Amino acid sequence: MELRGKRVLVMGLGLQGSGIAAARYAAEQGAIVRVTDKKPAEVLAPSIRALAGLPIEFILGEHREEDFRWAEIVIRNPGIPRNSPYLQIARAHGAQIEMELALFMLACPGRTIGITGTRGKTTTTTLIYEILRAAGKPVVIGGNVAGVETLSLLPQITPETLVVLEMSSWQLEGFEQHRISPSVAVMTNLYPDHLDTYASMEDYGAA
């Protein structure tokens, strides 16, 4: 996806890596980048330090409607509900809504192995990664893994690399509009969960 010169708003910087990676990736691709998060700067200080030196504007402690009207592309953190009123403002003004993992999948040259489900994702993802690593395969791990900036893995990935990705239902929401999926898909199980976010069990299962 061409980001050079585009007005990119990262919604949700967070402390776990996803927002940091999205902001860094967009800036390195030549985008005009703003980051917005309701948490104050003192809470997000480690993430801000991780992006030091990059041309990024931070709007912290609040979300401003003007930023969502300004954006051509909004990269939302998986923790942000897809029906957020701020995202509705962005869509109404023609913005494209993206997610970090979808951007990664679009740019990734390696073979991806995606693991999703309600329970057991982390265990299964780690097990597959360790089996492949022990077998001497070129392999990396990312996705819904705490502390991993998945987009930042791209420079080390070649067509021969196996890319093992834990994928939450929220992250998968970003795949539908691009009609993408991993090369290999593993689904552990499906139990009632996240029904404070999804309208129904069917809605959650569809995601």
Residue 165 in this model has a pLDDT that exceeds 90: yes
Question: What local confidence, expressed as pLDDT, does residue 8 receive?
Answer: 98
Domains of the chain, by residue range, sit at 7-98, 102-206
CATH dotted code for 7-98:
3.40.50.720
Question: What local confidence, expressed as pLDDT, does residue 145 receive?
Answer: 86
- Taking domain 102-206, whether its CATH number is 3.40.50.300 is answered by no
Question: What local confidence, expressed as pLDDT, does residue 194 receive?
Answer: 74
Question: For a pLDDT cut of 70, what percent of the chain falls above it?
Answer: 100
Residue range 189-204: mean pLDDT, rounded: 84
Residue 17 in this model has a pLDDT that exceeds 80: no
With left for phi above 0 and alpha for psi between -120 and 50, is residue 30 left, alpha or beta?
Answer: left
Question: What local confidence, expressed as pLDDT, does residue 18 receive?
Answer: 80
Span 56-76, pLDDT tens digits: 999 999 999 999 999 999 999
Residue range 131-139: mean pLDDT, rounded: 98
Question: What local confidence, expressed as pLDDT, does residue 93 receive?
Answer: 97
Question: What local confidence, expressed as pLDDT, does residue 41 receive?
Answer: 95
Residue 167 in this model has a pLDDT that exceeds 90: yes
Residue 147 in this model has a pLDDT that exceeds 90: no
- Alpha-carbon distance of 109 to 82, in angstroms, equals 28
Residues pairing with 60 in the sheet: 37
CA separation, residue 155 to residues 48, 108, 144, 178 (Å)? 22, 9, 19, 22
- Alpha-carbon distance of 18 to 22, in angstroms, equals 6
Question: What local confidence, expressed as pLDDT, does residue 96 receive?
Answer: 96
- Alpha-carbon distance of 181 to 200, in angstroms, equals 23
Residue 48: pLDDT band (50, 70, 90) is: very high
Enumerate residues 6+ apart whose C-beta is below 8 A from 109: 157, 158, 159, 161
Residue range 168-183: mean pLDDT, rounded: 92
- Alpha-carbon distance of 118 to 106, in angstroms, equals 25
